[in-house]
Amino acid sequence: MSHFRFGRLNRSYVALGVVVLLVYMLFAHQDRLSLSSLPYRAIQPTDLTAQRIRTLPKTEVLAHAPGFSVIENLYWHNRTFYLVTDQPWRLPPIKLIASLSTDTRTPANGRVVAKIKSIRLQPVSPEVKESNQIGETISLEAAERQFGSAQVVEGPMIINNDDNFAAHYYHWIGETFLGSWRVWSNYGWRTGIKLPMIKRVAFTQQYSKDDAPPSAKPGKDIFNDKPGANIWFTEKFFPGVVWDTKAVWDNRADSGKVYRITTAVVADRAAGHSGPSAAYKPWGDVLRLPVAPDWLLTLRGRVFSEYRGDTPLSMPEKPLVVYLQRQDSSRRLVTEDHEALVDELHQLQREGVADIALEAFNSSMPFDEQVARIARATILIAVHGNGLTHSLWMTPTPRSAVFEFQPRTCTITDYSPLAIAAGVQHYMVHETDFCLPLDCPGRHCEKPGGINTIIHLKPKVVTDQIRRILAH
Ligand SMILES: *[C@@H]1O[C@H](CO)[C@@H](O)[C@H](O)[C@H]1NC(C)=O
Ligand SMILES: *[C@@H]1O[C@H](CO)[C@@H](O)[C@H](O)[C@H]1NC(C)=O
């Protein structure tokens, strides 16, 4: 054991071993030479550690209906939104999130409104085609490089992506704002999360009248309405809100930086119109999302935060019928029919059925006063028009109702969905009869005259139904 002795036999074994080794090395070397001339590619070791993929703020759609989306980590660069994800199948189609223009005929000229960047590993076979993928494939490294250090814009931010139709109380508060508040409320209701206050409101494609360049066209390029309702209501809803107007986005585009909006509530009119429940309106689908019953009352409460008027802010004991008249405008009731209606309403009052208030709001009445007077109405009656946007602020009770007058030749469903959204029954009155929203004829309006005409009304159609409602 302890002595290692090299005998003769052993020496010959060693010599043989050396020869075998030399021969082997010679051939092995030749072998390596021929292998190295074949194409050789190692699988790229990808450091897709769970930690890194988790750390990159990825885009998540938290709640959605066509046209209205709650989106976490929405990226933006040079007038294009970016959705950065490793789960592209969880994103709704882009056309249901955002559009380049309200007018879908506007030429794109190579622009797209949004791009999906999908973090993916390599494909498994040559049959896999990049053109079939959702979004553009990006490596985790590239995603980190391009988006990982984006400039943060702290939300929640409501984004109205319209390039038209905002400069009106109905078009903003009654349409795109309403839809975004609905999807946001649905998100809170569904998850039980206590929703944070909206910090910013953005108009990506419109200026405010304070920062618009001289070339901007009022109405199309500027979101302010004449009476100032859009700004007034929005600032009441969200005290201290920051306005990110097109002027702000223009600067962001010029900076060349990538931005990340922590939470965005995106409203897009054309995308809303693409939904299956649209029915000529942007919010047909989103208004079918369930929400807590007080989803609008929360906002209404904020409208009164600095209210100094005399109107009590609670419902009166006796039912109140508010007739919001507009006899000084071109779309109004035939004078005799208006007067007959007023007589019939006074008759209701004499019978003790309800109290009556005749209102004619104009721009010198503060908005909170207008809302206060609507908020206590059990029943609101009015000719088709902007004042009916206020039906959003009614108090939902089993007897609450809106009566809207239209000519017999029209059913324009602009305001009925607002009443329904507020939890209030809607009666579309066509001169001598009425219909409930789901029983009415489809949306239409015959020329000449259309909706802007003098409307006939048999007042008892309204007052008899009010008697029936209030008898319950
Ligand atoms: C933004 O995009 C436009 C083309 O749409 C391009 O001409 C411009 O250089 C881009 N700006 C920046 C800062 O990348
Ligand atoms: C608004 O209505 C009030 C009361 O009806 C009236 O006194 C006032 O002149 C009106 N203002 C405008 C601007 O029409």
Placement of tokens 């329904």 in the chain: 420
The Cα 208–Cα 314 span in angstroms is: 35
* Residue pair 150/258 in contact by the 8 Å Cβ criterion: yes
The distance of Cα 348 from the centroid of its chain, to the nearest Å, equals 42
* pLDDT of 357 above 60: yes
Interaxial angle between packed helices 229-237 and 367-375, expressed in degrees from 0 to 180 and rounded to the nearest 10: 70
Q: Could you tell me which residues come within 8 angstroms of residue 458 by beta carbon, excluding any fewer than 6 positions away?
A: 337, 431, 432
The Cα 287–Cα 226 span in angstroms is: 27
Confidence band for 16, pLDDT divided at 50, 70 and 90: confident
**3-state DSSP call for residue 355?**
strand
Placement of tokens 């959605």 in the chain: 64
Q: Among candidates 121, 127, 136, which has minimal Cα distance to 84? A: 136
The protein residue with its alpha carbon nearest to ligand 2, atom 13, reads 364
* DSSP annotation of 273: H
Ligand 1, from 76, 78, 81, 257: best to mutate by most atoms within 8 Å of Cβ? Answer: 78
256 C-beta closer than 6 A to ligand 1: yes
Taking CB atoms and a 6 Å cutoff, what residues make up the pocket around ligand 2? 360, 362-364
The tens digit of pLDDT for each residue in 140-192 reads 999 999 999 999 999 999 999 999 999 999 999 999 999 999 999 999 999 99
Chain mean pLDDT for the chain? 93
**3-state DSSP call for residue 149?**
coil
The protein residue with its alpha carbon nearest to ligand 2, atom 1, reads 362
The protein residue with its alpha carbon nearest to ligand 1, atom 5, reads 111
- What pairing do the DSSP bridges indicate for beta strands 259-267 and 68-77? antiparallel
How far is ligand 1, taken at its centre, from the CA of residue 78, in Å?
6
How far is ligand 1, taken at its centre, from the CA of residue 255, in Å?
10
How far is ligand 1, taken at its centre, from the CA of residue 135, in Å?
21
The protein residue with its alpha carbon nearest to ligand 2, atom 11, reads 364
Helices (H), 274-423: 297-303, 335-351, 367-375, 416-421
Placement of tokens 């000519």 in the chain: 407
The distance of Cα 190 from the centroid of its chain, to the nearest Å, equals 16
Give residue 204's pLDDT. Answer: 98
Give residue 2's pLDDT. Answer: 44
* pLDDT of 4 above 90: no
3-state secondary structure 394-433: CCCCCCCEEEEECCCCEECCCCHHHHHHCCCEEEEEECCE
